[in-house]
């Protein structure tokens, strides 16, 4: 993969679900570009991944309130501070029609995919506010926009992530902490480096204004909209205060003008993708 040397130099990140798949690909990229990472995961592979990357690791169930709070404290102690949160932990849940869907499966899917995002964000945001800087990327899914058949709990949970992140982004407007949601399609967990290569190709196709979502539907599998989103996220500085984006969305949301800050520090009102 092409490495943008020093892009994350001096930055620290928590990546949930960081032992595999999209979370691992993002963690590898942050580490390769100079950042320090704390991986949160329940996987048996966590220790080996942390050893390979030289990363800090916490074995944590993101649906457990006390465990998440303890993990945030441990990560801050290990990293010194927390600049970035990538919330990619999640499960597919049962894949059955609604009339066959067990309530326990429904509750477990929402507990990890939606409650987990809430708990992780709630635990980390105060650390970012204390430092006056933060970047949050909550990984949703195109299923949260379109709804996948036989995946009602997953679709509902990912729709919740989008709504939650938009709300959070507006709450944090003007405070130095930016929250965004991404909506990837399929991610090949077995080959994160191929995903990084796709991200490089998308980066090369950006329009002159550096808008990575322009060609978001060119490839049917959408292999790594998530890591492409990390490039988008890296560009979201003060010009994008208070906005929450879903990468493939065509709908627009408008934040109150009092929540927007231009690069010169004056309020402005403009529609954004969301």
Catalytically active residues, by annotation: 154
CA dihedral 173, 167, 274, 224 (to 10 degrees): 100
The rounded distance, in Å, linking the Cα atoms of 35 and 10 is 6
Joined together, the tokens standing for residue 202 give: 């998308």
The rounded distance, in Å, linking the Cα atoms of 191 and 24 is 10
Joined together, the tokens standing for residue 102 give: 């067990």
CA distances from 91 to 62, 79, 88, 154, 246 (A): 11, 27, 10, 8, 19
Helices and strands (H, E) in the chain, number of each type: 9, 8
CA distances from 219 to 25, 184, 200, 210, 239 (A): 19, 12, 14, 19, 29
- For residue 19, the SS3 value is coil
Q: What is the CA angle 90-95-99, rounded to 5? A: 125
Give CA 228 to chain center in angstroms: 11
CA nearest neighbour of 101 among 162, 160, 146, 154: 154
Question: Helices 152-171 & 116-131, crossing angle to 10 degrees?
Answer: 20
């Amino acid at each position: 993969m092409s490495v943008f040397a020093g892009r994350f130099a001096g930055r620290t990140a928590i990546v949930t679900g960081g032992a595999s798949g999209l979370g691992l690909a993002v963690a590898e990229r942050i580490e390769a570009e100079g950042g320090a990472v704390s991986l949160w995961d329940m996987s048996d592979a966590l220790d080996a991944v942390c050893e390979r990357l030289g990363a800090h690791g916490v074995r944590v169930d993101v649906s457990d309130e006390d465990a998440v709070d303890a993990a945030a404290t441990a990560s801050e102690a290990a990293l010194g501070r927390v600049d970035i949160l990538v919330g990619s932990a999640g499960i597919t849940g049962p894949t059955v029609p609604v009339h066959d869907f067990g309530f326990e499966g429904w509750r477990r899917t929402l507990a990890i995919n939606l409650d987990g995002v809430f708990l992780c964000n709630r635990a980390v945001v105060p650390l970012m506010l204390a430092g006056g800087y933060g970047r949050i990327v909550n990984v949703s899914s195109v299923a949260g926009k379109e709804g996948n058949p036989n995946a009602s709990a997953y679709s509902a949970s990912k729709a919740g992530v989008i709504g939650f992140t938009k709300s959070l982004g507006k709450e944090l407007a003007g405070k130095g902490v930016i929250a965004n949601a991404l909506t990837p399609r399929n991610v090949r967990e077995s080959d994160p480096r191929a995903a990084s290569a796709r991200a490089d190709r998308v980066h090369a196709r950006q329009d002159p204004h550096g808008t990575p979502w322009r060609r978001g539907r060119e490839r049917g599998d959408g292999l790594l909209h998530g890591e492409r989103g990390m490039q988008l996220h890296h560009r979201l500085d003060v010009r994008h205060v208070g906005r929450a984006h879903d990468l493939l969305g065509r709908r627009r949301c408008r934040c109150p003008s009092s929540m927007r800050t231009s690069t010169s520090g004056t309020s402005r009102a403009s529609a954004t993708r969301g």
